[in-house]
Amino acid sequence: MTTPTKSSVFLEYMKLHMISLEQDWEKARNNEPLNDDEYDPSDDYFEGATDAVGHLLSVATDIMNDNLQGKGY
């Protein structure tokens, strides 16, 4: 078993954060309460947040895989 690198741990965090955003967006669509101090419940907020995290995750994955011609470049 190999020890995870800081980079791989960060990639896993970003994946979990994306899942959390998607779950919160679904809650917002269903008019379930969200923590007011954490999120703007608008679709614009969630669309922007998921687009940004998705882009960063794509770039980071490309870098980790030495794919310098990937989507993020």
- Please write the tens of the pLDDT for every residue from 41-62: 788 889 999 999 999 999 888 8
Predicted confidence band of residue 12 (pLDDT cuts 50, 70, 90): very high
**CB-neighbour burial class of residue 72 (10 A; exposed 0-12, middle 13-18, buried 19+):** middle
Instruction: Tell me the CA distances in angstroms from 9 to 16, 28, 43, one per residue in order.
Output: 11, 28, 29
The tokens describing 36, both together, are 């007011």
What is the predicted pLDDT for the residue at 17?
Answer: 94
pTM: 0.77
Which residue would you say has higher pLDDT here, 40 or 56? 56
